[in-house]
Amino acid sequence: MDKNILEQAQQHFAELVKSQIERSEKMKSALDWIDYSTLKPIIIGFCWGDGIGPIISREAERVLNVVLKDEINNGKVQFRTIEGLTIENRAAHMKAIPDDVLQELKACHVILKAPTTTPEKGGPYPNIESANVAMRRELDLFANVRPVKIPGEGVDWVFFRENTEGAYILGSKGFMAGDDVAFDFKVITRPGAERILRMAFDFARKNGINTVTVVTKANVVKTTDGLFLEMAERVGKEYPGIKWEGWYIDIMTAKLIDPKRRTQFRVLVMPNLYGDILTDEAAEMQGGVGTAGSANIGKRYAMFEAIHGSAPRMVEEGRGKYADPSSLIKAAGMMLNHIGFVDKADKLGKALEICTQFEKKVKITGRDTGVTGREFCDYILETMQSPDLQEKYISFTG
């Protein structure tokens, strides 16, 4: 056995432990929630991203310009474009988020982010960390909230995915012990588990939902998932009207496609990687990962994004203009809701549901067999602004 490796391992692990204890301590002294109603202006930053990102961003921006017309005119809301979160610029700086870009992000209150390329080993770009993962960590966006609805089948789920720690926090800090043995590390902290669980239980209480489903693999991954479950027990006690249930990720994945069982789930909360996987599965049932939006929420900042990727192939094949902007527009709606424009968000959400799930007057297929993203956005805008939006919505949903 090479003694050097053991020494390196000790040092590597000690550094990780130190950084994670510091992070956990910092969480305990975190600030209070920001109050958007007192802000003027609320600064909304746009990151246009890679691949189809700029194309679908233009449509999302168009929607927001319509929805927030008055607020832009009276100075309540201000838009900012953040250049530089492109794969080319990130690769040039060899950083997930170059320093000046991070500064610009931190000068905003909320961010609408189009998909960014996540490099991988052996790919065309240097294997730097994902911009999503870095932004979630740097801005402490600890909750990833992903609603999934299939109205015809009684499915109405809201996923609360822990968004900064778990398998992700040290995802780029693994350790190769020699040539043959690879380690990665998973970290769950008590304050980290507590804040995401609390958010899920609070959401359930606010919305009159009486069950919370906690997903782990605590029977096998005992220390970290065990702590998550222990915190669920503890936090759950503070919500007497709400019963919580523990499920393991494997059977949960199966039961999401069981029509008899799945309607019982409403609020689901889980560590990072399980949430990553489960929300793709759920979004696919709703009509594809391109149909979902995702809110990354922290106390000071929040970032809203589509959950699909940057689809470079679509652009290479000249199909960029057929990319579906619905997911990013949905994310824009979640952003409106988060910063307090609840009625506007509601209208936009209803228009999106009508266009993507019910009426489907025009179809977007990602190819020239359907309409372009611009045309689809026109359809959404038209539906949102039609005076009989409410009646139309009720006629579909009953």
Residue numbers at the binding site for ligand IPM (CB under 6 A)? 118, 130, 132-133, 276, 307
H/E stretch holding 345 reads: helix 342-353
- Report the SS3 class of residue 19: helix
User: 59 or 276: whose CB is closer to Mg ion?
Assistant: 276
Residues 324, 329: Cα–Cα separation, whole Å: 10
Q: Which does 86 bind (CB under 5 to 8 A by kind): ligand IPM, Mg ion, none?
A: none
Residue 393: CB partners within 8 Å, gap ≥ 6? 350, 353, 354
- Which stretch in 54-62, 209-217, 272-280, 365-373 sits in contact with Mg ion by CB under 5 A? 272-280
In 3D space, the residue among 3, 9, 19, 15 whose CA is nearest the CA of residue 181 turns out to be 9
Q: Which of 50, 165, 276, 353 touches Mg ion (CB under 5 A)?
A: 276
How many whole angstroms separate alpha carbon 57 and alpha carbon 44? 13
Q: How far is the CB of 389 from ligand IPM (least distance, A)?
A: 30
Q: How many residues bind Mg ion (CB under 5 A)?
A: 1
DSSP string computed for 223-252: HHHHHHHHHHHHHHTT-TT-EEEEEEHHHH
> Which residue, 132 or 383, is less far from Mg ion as judged by CB?
132
Of these partners, Mg ion, ligand IPM, none, which one is at the site of residue 162 (CB under 5 to 8 Å by kind)?
none
Q: How far is the CB of 272 from ligand IPM (least distance, A)?
A: 8
- Min CB(397)–ligand IPM separation in Å: 28
Q: Is 104 in the site for Mg ion (CB under 5 A)?
A: no
* Comparison of 184 and 343: residue with beta carbon closer to ligand IPM: 184
- Asked if 167 contacts 225 with a C-beta cutoff of 8 angstroms, the reply is no
- What is the smallest separation between the CB atom of 216 and ligand IPM, expressed in angstroms? 18
104 binds, among ligand IPM, Mg ion, none (CB under 5 to 8 A by kind): none
> Looking at 191-199, 208-216, 276-284, 295-303, which segment touches Mg ion (CB under 5 A)?
276-284
Residue 130 interacts with which of ligand IPM, Mg ion, none, CB < 5 to 8 Å by class: ligand IPM
User: Closer to Mg ion at the Cβ: 131 or 231?
Assistant: 131
Closest-by-Cβ residue to Mg ion is 276
Asked if omega into 41 is within 30° of 0 (cis), the reply is: yes
Tokens of 148: 């999934």
Closest to Mg ion by CB, 129 or 276: 276
Q: Which does 132 bind (CB under 5 to 8 A by kind): ligand IPM, Mg ion, none?
A: ligand IPM
What's the min distance (Å) between Cβ of 128 and ligand IPM?
12
Contact 242, 236 (CB under 8 A): yes
- Angle at which helices 190-206 and 3-28 pack, to 10 degrees? 40
Identity of the residue, 140 or 276, whose beta carbon is nearer to Mg ion in the bound complex: 276
Shortest CB 167 distance to Mg ion, Å:
12
- Shortest Å distance, C-beta 135 to ligand IPM: 10
Select from 74, 131, 85, 77 the least CA-distant residue to 109: 77
**Closer residue to Mg ion in complex, CB, 84/275:** 275
CB of 136 to ligand IPM, least distance (A): 8
**Look-up of token digits 């020494």:** 7
Which residue's CB is nearer to Mg ion, number 118 or number 189? 118
How many residues does the structure list for the chain?
Answer: 398
Least distance to ligand IPM, CB of residue 276, Å: 5
What is the Cα–Cα distance from 282 to 147, expressed in whole angstroms?
9
What gap in Å lies between CA 303 and CA 338, rounded to an integer?
10
Residue ranges with strand state E in the chain: 42-47, 77-82, 110-113, 143-150, 155-162, 175-177, 181-183, 211-216, 243-248, 267-270, 293-297, 302-306
From residue 230 to residue 269, the character string flagging contacts with Mg ion as x (rule: CB under 5 A) and all else as - is ----------------------------------------
Which CB atom, from 164 or from 337, has the smaller least distance to ligand IPM?
164
In the numeric block, which tokens belong to residue 377? 């956005």
Residues that bind Mg ion (CB under 5 A): 276
